[in-house]
Amino acid sequence: MKKKIFVALLLAMLPWAAFAAGASVELRGISVSSGNGGMLVTLATSAPTTHRFFTLEGPDRVVVDLAGTRLASGVRLPKGEGIVATIRTGEQSRGTLRVVIELESAAASSGAWQPAFADVGNRFVVAVGTKAFVAAAGSKGAQAPAGAAAARAVADTSEKKSAAPKSPAGKKSPAAASPPKVVRAPHAPADGNRDIIIAVDAGHGGQDPGAIGRNGTREKDVVLAVSRALAARINAEPGMRAVLIRDSDHFIVLRDRQLRARAAKADLFVSIHADAIRDRNISGASVYVLSERGASSEAARWLAERENAADLMGGVKLDDKEQSLASVLLDLSQTASLSASMTAAELVLLSLDRAVEVRKPKVQQAGLIVLKSPDIPSMLVETAYISNPREEARLGTARHQQKLAEAIFKGLRSYFESSPPPGTLFAQMRRSQLAGVVPTSPAAP
């Protein structure tokens, strides 16, 4: 008898043991159903896991982050229905799978884990619609009903539970009192949900082919493919947007690449290249930022030409400043930009090291012209040595190009998650995390 009880307990604990050991949970299906004027989006998983649930505006959407989870092969995303416009998924850092539910318009929403059944399994249910409908689906341990009749039953139960208890004197009890209003300090950063803008620069182009491999692979072609893949991955991430400096086979002078990034109000500039060297045995990726000597020469150029210089990010002008003040302002801007460049580059290099071979384990510094923007954090990624026959062959495949793009993206996202620019959606989410909005654990099945 004791043995049977032990085996039963062991089987019940297996999903949680797998999660604790870092094993991947699978999202095996997504379905959409309607009821009582609202919608249910059900996420079927192979095991329960921790999650983060939040809503965003512009456009209105519900986001569910599932820790330690991957999308099972063959899963088809359902089409929009009712207030649900579209559903998409995307991989986040540290093995988190993000499910984004875009809405036709703003609506109350909530999410909760539902008890597992032998024929259903683990389910995280998102309810979008009327308040009664949402309250029922979001209650702890609530079971998501299927079909309109069941939805009505949930709504009826929720309405009874939501009746505010009254005191003997006929007044509402303290529990039913209105929640306190949030007071924002005058100096607090303004809320905003603008996208982080990343300028993606494909090196060379047009009459400049860049390096050429032994089998004729041209650097300008492969880096454009990697840049397009990186831009697509950035654009798929809520709160991020990519601007391609070069989106076709044409030549752009190095200074103009900086100007295009500034015109796009980029928060970061990343230039994509593929190195070449006489020794064809050398291989691996590397990441560069501007050297101090390169920064000093650029500062001197800006100060000498400040009458014609564009504004620094933030609208700071140099043309109407005394030489000493202009020098201080430019130095402050450059110092902050170089520091941010190094931090972001280190995270990109770390991400690349997890995905592909890296030649230089530390971020390199050089006086490269394309990195000389004094106010936009910038880096240059040498994705591989095109002079190496093995790397040349890999660079020509869409699979390896996507692998490189994904690795660079993950490094960039890690940087902006920890250091988001003010007024961005990432900054809004960061403030929520620091305020104590942390991932919650699902109810035990």
The span from the CA of 392 to the CA of 366, in Å, is 25
Say if residue 200 is in the same domain as residue 151.
Answer: no
Mean pLDDT estimate for the chain:
74
User: Is the pLDDT at 372 greater than 60, yes or no?
Assistant: yes
Say if residue 200 is in the same domain as residue 327.
Answer: yes
Burial class (CB in 10 A: 0-12, 13-18, 19+), 179: exposed
- What's the token pair of residue 149? 């009749």
Task: Residue 262: name the closest of 208, 307, 201 by CA.
Answer: 201
Task: Identify the H or E element spanning 195.
Answer: none
- The answer to the question of residue 188 being in a domain is no
- The answer to the question of residue 220 being in a domain is yes
- What's the token pair of residue 386? 């095109």
Q: Which of 40-44, 48-52, 335-339 has the lowest mean pLDDT?
A: 335-339
User: According to the model, what pLDDT value does residue 375 have?
Assistant: 75
For residue 334, what are the domain limits? Answer: 196-422
Say if residue 271 is in the same domain as residue 129.
Answer: no
The span from the CA of 349 to the CA of 357, in Å, is 10
Say if residue 136 is in the same domain as residue 239.
Answer: no
SS3 329: helix
Task: Say how many Å lie between the first and final Cα of the chain, rounded.
Answer: 23
User: According to the model, what pLDDT value does residue 47 have?
Assistant: 85
From residue 245, how far is each of 200, 203, 298, 365 by CA, in Å? 6, 9, 21, 22
Say if residue 274 is in the same domain as residue 408.
Answer: yes
pLDDT band at residue 318, thresholds of 50, 70 and 90? low
- The answer to the question of residue 69 being in a domain is yes
| pLDDT tens-digit map of 332-350 | 656 677 888 899 999 999 9
- Which residues have CB under 8 Å from 418's CB, separation 6+? 430
Beta-carbon neighbour count of residue 25 at 10 Å?
23
Cβ(100)–Cβ(61) below 8 Å: yes
User: Is the pLDDT at 383 greater than 60, yes or no?
Assistant: yes
| pLDDT tens-digit map of 53-104 | 888 877 888 889 888 898 988 888 888 888 899 999 988 767 888 999 999 8
SS3 397: coil
- The answer to the question of residue 1 being in a domain is no
User: According to the model, what pLDDT value does residue 184 have?
Assistant: 43
Sign of the CA dihedral with 112 first, then 113, 117, and 122 last: positive
Cβ(211)–Cβ(387) below 8 Å: yes
Give this prediction's pTM: 0.55
- The answer to the question of residue 389 being in a domain is yes
Q: Do you know the residue count of the chain?
A: 445
Say if residue 347 is in the same domain as residue 411.
Answer: yes
Adjacency order of strands within the sheet including 38-45: 69-71, 25-35, 38-45, 121-129, 108-117
The span from the CA of 131 to the CA of 191, in Å, is 26
- The answer to the question of residue 116 being in a domain is yes
| pLDDT tens-digit map of 174-226 | 433 443 343 444 444 455 688 999 999 999 999 999 999 999 999 999 999 99
Domain count, the chain: 2
The span from the CA of 247 to the CA of 225, in Å, is 9
CATH number for position 279: 3.40.630.40
Amino acid symbol at 296: S
Task: Residue 78: name the closest of 131, 119, 31, 24 by CA.
Answer: 31
